[in-house]
Amino acid sequence: MDFADIAPWLRWCVAFALTLVLAAWCTPRAWWRRPNLRALGVLGGGTLAFGLLFSALLPPAPAAATAAAAVRTAAVATIGPAPGARYRVVDDLNLREDRGVRAARMRVLAAGTIVTATGATDGDWWRVRVGGGAVEGWASSLWLRRTDERH
């Protein structure tokens, strides 16, 4: 649960607390000796009034910011490697005929090998070329780093 989900509840809780404080200061003490309909009306009416006031005055920016962040995250998640981008293998990596760990292994790429992305992806699996395009297969992107990125 993030702040955008909690913010409306938090506003109403603050409105209730403010109503309790103001009611204790501004009403006769006799009203609070035992619960009655008048006390319930003061608490309910005050909480509604202050809650609506807080909702009108405080901006709903956290929800909009959360929605914008979700859109950015979704956009980043769908972007794969640019075709022709070069990557370095971090640790020995299996180059496979198809995506998935059960696909047949074509060869093992040694750490430090440079591969070129074709642009085809399926989740964490990227289609790459090795050795100037002589061999093409699928590799897990979890073991690839950009050539300009440090280990």
Tokens (6 digits) for 92: 């020995």
Cα 98 from Cα 35, distance rounded (Å): 72
Intervals of CATH 2.30.30.40 along the chain = 86-146
**Each residue's pLDDT tens digit, 50-77:** 888 877 877 664 454 555 555 555 444 4
Residue 130 sits at φ, ψ, to 5 deg, of -125, 145
As given in the structure block, the two tokens for residue 136 are 């093409």
- How many beta carbons lie within 10 A of that of residue 38, not counting itself? 10
Write down the pLDDT at residue 120: 93
Quickly state the pLDDT bin for 137 (edges 50, 70, 90). Answer: very high
- Taking the C-alpha atoms of residue 139 and residue 80, their distance in angstroms, rounded to an integer, is 13
- Cβ contacts of residue 128 below 8 Å, gap of 6+? 87, 95, 115, 116, 117, 118, 136, 137, 138, 139, 144
Q: Tens digits of per-residue pLDDT, 75-129?
A: 444 567 889 999 999 999 999 999 999 999 999 999 999 999 999 999 999 999 9
Residues shown for the chain: 151
Superfamily, domain 86-146 = SH3 Domains (2.30.30.40)
The pLDDT assigned to 48 comes to 85
Share the mean pLDDT of the chain: 81
| 140: nearest Cα among 100, 108, 103, 105 | 100
Choose among 60, 61, 21: nearest CA to 43: 21
